[in-house]
A and B are shown apart, each in its own frame.
Chain A
């Protein structure tokens, strides 16, 4: 594409604000939505990891309490 043709494409016969305003908004919406989607998935996975840690911690505490109870009976 020649520089003149590129300049004509950018200028859009004076309609640049309206045409590129539409294209840029469409691209911005797609980018923003993609960012929101990635963040939402990351947050969901982090919450599940945290829940797994808490459940593992709770299971560990329950096992430790049971072990203490057996030691108490044995003593």
Chain B
């Protein structure tokens, strides 16, 4: 089915598939390099921090995985929902692939949040799982990410899938709000753990730096993954167009 996306030679401000493809390709190596460098530095700093400096002993090192994953799962859900709503309801001048580029990475971050959270809770508080607002909201975000991907993969045609997927993610926005509020309120499972940037100063300087570096690493990695996936999605969406041919090897 031919798609009437803007002509490659349209106004320079219009994000055509070719422009999105090349722009993503320019940012991709920088995101990847940032992820690897900050990840290595953060891991080194985090693993070398002495147990005395850790708020809850060695188990607190899980924070270097759990906190960035949690933050990113929320950020990626908000971004995916916003893009899905824009693509599904507002019909922007690009193929409806941006939300699909983010969704798998967001789902993986949600899963990692729940996994690392359970591994953190068990040794310190004796429970793998607790039926509280924060955990339930995070699990709901994961379920909605997976449902969105299944819906978009199953429905024929990009337009119908975009609209239905947008409405599905919109359903989860109240859960995201609950999660954000629950992060800053007292939670029976979590102890006095700095869960927001405003609480970071209570940590030792080295730990604070390690946490910020791993947070940057996770963010840059998710950005690189989304950009790479976006490029593949654009190639898949435009098989009949002329611009993808320029990126194929010569015959």
CA A36 to CA B92, docked complex, whole Å: 28
Which residues in chain A, 2-28, are within 8 Å of chain B measured between CB atoms? 9, 12-15, 17-19, 21-23, 25-26
Please, which residue of chain A has its CB at the minimum distance from the CB of B39? Answer: A30
- One of B115-123, B165-173, B174-182, B203-211 contacting the partner: B115-123
- Chain A, interface size: which category? 20 to 34
Name B's interface SS: helix
* A57 CB, min distance to chain B CBs, angstroms: 12
The reply to whether B245 and A22 contact each other, CB–CB distance below 8 Å, is: no
List of A residues within 8 angstroms of B251 by Cβ = 52, 56
Is residue B78 contacting chain A, with contact meaning CB distance below 8 A? no
Most buried by B among A19, A33, A47, A51: A19
Name A's interface SS: helix
Is residue A45 contacting chain B, with contact meaning CB distance below 8 A? yes
Is residue A48 contacting chain B, with contact meaning CB distance below 8 A? yes
Residue-wise interface mask of A (37-70) relative to B, using a CB-CB cutoff of 8 A (1 in contact, 0 not): 1001100110111011000100000000000000
- One of B9-17, B51-59, B144-152 contacting the partner: B51-59
The reply to whether B244 and A30 contact each other, CB–CB distance below 8 Å, is: no
- Chain B, interface size: which category? 35 or more
The reply to whether A47 and B108 contact each other, CB–CB distance below 8 Å, is: no
List of A residues within 8 angstroms of B163 by Cβ = none
The reply to whether A47 and B239 contact each other, CB–CB distance below 8 Å, is: yes
The reply to whether A15 and B57 contact each other, CB–CB distance below 8 Å, is: yes
Which residues in chain B, 228-245, are within 8 Å of chain A measured between CB atoms? 228-229, 231-232, 235-236, 239-240, 244-245
The reply to whether A48 and B248 contact each other, CB–CB distance below 8 Å, is: yes
The reply to whether B58 and A19 contact each other, CB–CB distance below 8 Å, is: yes
Is residue B134 contacting chain A, with contact meaning CB distance below 8 A? no
Please, which residue of chain B has its CB at the minimum distance from the CB of A37? Answer: B228
* B240 CB, min distance to chain A CBs, angstroms: 8
List of B residues within 8 angstroms of A51 by Cβ = 239-240
Residue-wise interface mask of B (214-240) relative to A, using a CB-CB cutoff of 8 A (1 in contact, 0 not): 000000010001001101100110011
List of A residues within 8 angstroms of B123 by Cβ = 15, 18
CA A19 to CA B57, docked complex, whole Å: 11
CA A37 to CA B229, docked complex, whole Å: 6
The reply to whether A22 and B225 contact each other, CB–CB distance below 8 Å, is: no
CA A56 to CA B251, docked complex, whole Å: 11
CA A25 to CA B109, docked complex, whole Å: 11
Asked, given contacts A25-B116, A44-B232, whether A52 binds B62 with beta carbons under 8 Å apart, the answer is no
15 contacts between A and B (CB under 8 A): A13-B58, A14-B58, A15-B59, A18-B59, A18-B120, A18-B122, A22-B120, A25-B65, A33-B105, A36-B104, A41-B232, A41-B235, A45-B235, A49-B248, A51-B239
